[in-house]
């Protein structure tokens, strides 16, 4: 008999997307993206920190010439819920005028972050702009926004792992899971 599978993390109530499913879906997403861009070069903008793991793995599935830049958006969350308006705190270094841009985030929730960032990017006059998210919590949308590439549609649960955090923790988990309610209290020292 094989040994029992080690739990991903004791603070998780359940695993929503296993690391094997993430890997499989990212390979498919690489193919979906290549179908749209052909062999052309494009510029990837990754919203950090959350999209770090997803961006790193997705880019390894794509052979096109790519340029990579990152953008940082201030956290406007009270740990598990969105509170206000997201703010840009670190902007781009690459020139994206006339370039094909693929914007990557970890999760599309209320939609406010991607709406803000796409508005900022459009002002820089890219040739085209598409968006790609690993997770889509469609039921939580507060603004009218849909991504061009979506990894998984998920229910309205607060999830961590594979780049997603709770108070900056759990980003390094290889799978995506739902945090136990007892763990959804801010730690004494963030
Ligand atoms: P939106 O602006 O509400 O669409 O939220 C997008 C940002 O909120 C994402 O980039 C995440 O950083 C964060 N976020 C939304 N839902 C979750 C979640 O379930 N777990 C962790 N972070 C989340
Ligand atoms: Mg984020």
Helix (H) / strand (E) containing 14: strand 12-17
Domain assignment of residue 118, given as a range: 19-154
Helices and strands (H, E) in the chain, number of each type: 3, 11
SS3 183: helix
Active site residue 109: yes
69 inside domain: yes
Distance 114 CA to ligand 2 centre (A): 10
Mean pLDDT, rounded, for 54-58: 98
Q: Measured between alpha carbons, how far is 8 from 45 in angstroms, rounded to an integer?
A: 30
Enter the tokens of residue 30: 């690489």
160 inside domain: no
185 inside domain: no
Q: How many domains does the chain have?
A: 1
Which residues does a 6 A CB cutoff place in the pocket of ligand 1?
Answer: 47, 50, 82, 86, 105-113, 158-160, 164
12 inside domain: no
pLDDT band at 190 (very low <50, low <70, confident <90, very high): low
149 inside domain: yes
Active-site hit among 57, 105, 106, 109: 109
Which residue puts its alpha carbon closest to atom 22 of ligand 1? 164
Q: Measured between alpha carbons, how far is 45 from 49 in angstroms, rounded to an integer?
A: 12
Output the pLDDT for position 84.
74
Across the chain, which distance is largest between two alpha carbons, in Å? 59
Strand partners, 45: 69, 103
182 inside domain: no
For the stretch 150-165, pLDDT in tens is: 999 999 999 999 999 9
Burial class (CB in 10 A: 0-12, 13-18, 19+), 113: buried
8 inside domain: no
Mean pLDDT, rounded, for 18-36: 98
Distance 32 CA to ligand 1 centre (A): 24
For the stretch 91-112, pLDDT in tens is: 899 999 999 999 999 999 999 9
Distance 75 CA to ligand 2 centre (A): 7
Q: What is the CATH number of the domain that holds 132?
A: 3.40.50.2020
169 inside domain: no
């Amino acid at each position: 008999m094989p040994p029992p599978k080690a739990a991903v993390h004791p603070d998780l109530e359940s695993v929503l997307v296993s690391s094997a499913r993430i890997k499989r879906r990212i390979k498919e997403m690489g193919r979906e993206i290549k179908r749209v861009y052909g062999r052309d070069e494009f510029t990837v903008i990754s919203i950090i920190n959350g999209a770090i793991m997803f961006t790193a793995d997705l880019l390894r599935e794509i052979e096109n010439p790519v340029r990579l830049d990152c953008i940082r958006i201030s956290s406007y969350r009270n740990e598990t819920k969105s509170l206000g308006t997201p703010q840009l705190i670190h902007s781009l270094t690459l020139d994206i005028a006339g370039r094909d841009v693929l914007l990557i985030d970890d999760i599309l929730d209320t939609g406010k972050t991607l709406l803000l960032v796409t508005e900022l990017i459009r002002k820089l006059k890219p040739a085209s702009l598409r968006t790609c998210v690993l997770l889509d919590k469609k039921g939580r949308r507060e603004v009218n926004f849909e991504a061009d590439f979506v990894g998984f549609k998920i229910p309205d649960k607060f999830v961590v792992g594979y780049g997603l955090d709770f108070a900056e923790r759990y980003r390094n988990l290889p799978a995506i899971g739902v945090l136990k309610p007892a763990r959804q209290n801010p730690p004494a020292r963030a």
